[in-house]
Amino acid sequence: MPAMSEAPESKPVGAGRQLLFLREEELRLAQDLLFFGYRDFTAGPDAILAELGMGRAHHRVLHFVGRRPGITVGDLLSILGITKQSLGRVLTPLVEDGYVTQAPGRNDRRQRLLSLTEKGEAMEKRLFERQREWVMRAYREAGPVAVEGFRRVMLGLMGPEARAQLDRAQPAATPGAPKPRSAA
């Protein structure tokens, strides 16, 4: 199976400055980066949420409901990839506390179409702003080219299902420039 890290005899791997052969250290760095980066990325919102007796799961609901107003419970479940029991534990309080509203579907009245209330939007906005400052700093430090690269790698890190959901979740951001796809 795995030989220890040795001279990767496989390819000559020229590419002068930044050799990009996936040797051990290369990957271990990626692991570190993702662990620390994700943790610190979520730290800001976590702090706000904790004050309100909420957790990361609440934030996710606010985020995805905000992103797709009128989403059905089922769709939300498949995006989050959790069970309805798990969602219920988080969604019910959000509804009771007036962050999220439920409306019966017009076509299918069994459905509960979820949307954010004003309170919910304000909350989401607050969490969003906190994270925005953080990401903005990282983006600025890294520069536009790096940001594009970041996106491409993160997209590649996602499984096909998640990628499909992401596409579906993308609302037409600006009326007129709909498809920020492809990229090169």
Partner DNA sequence: AAGAAACGTCAATGACGCTGACCCAAAAGG
Partner DNA sequence: CCTTTTGGGTCAGCGTCATTGACGTTTCTT
CA atoms within 13 A on the CB side of 42: 13
Is residue 125 a contact point for DNA (CB under 7 A)?
Answer: no
Q: Is residue 153 a contact partner of residue 121, using CB atoms and an 8 Å limit? A: no
Q: Where are the beta strands (DSSP E) in 86-173?
A: 100-104, 112-116
Binding to its own copies, residues 98-157 (CB under 8 A)? 125, 128-129, 131-132, 134-157
Which amino acid type is present at position 101?
Answer: T
Is residue 83 a contact point for its own copies (CB under 8 A)?
Answer: no
Closer residue to DNA (CB): 47 or 136? 47
Is residue 85 a contact point for DNA (CB under 7 A)?
Answer: yes
Say if residue 59 is exposed, middle or buried (CB neighbours under 10 Å; 0-12, 13-18, 19+). buried
Give the residue, chosen from 73, 138, 147, 169, that forms a contact with DNA under the rule CB under 7 A: 73
The least distance separating its own copies from the CB of residue 46, rounded to whole angstroms, comes to 12
Residues that bind DNA (CB under 7 A): 49, 53-58, 60, 72-75, 77, 80-92, 102, 105, 107-112
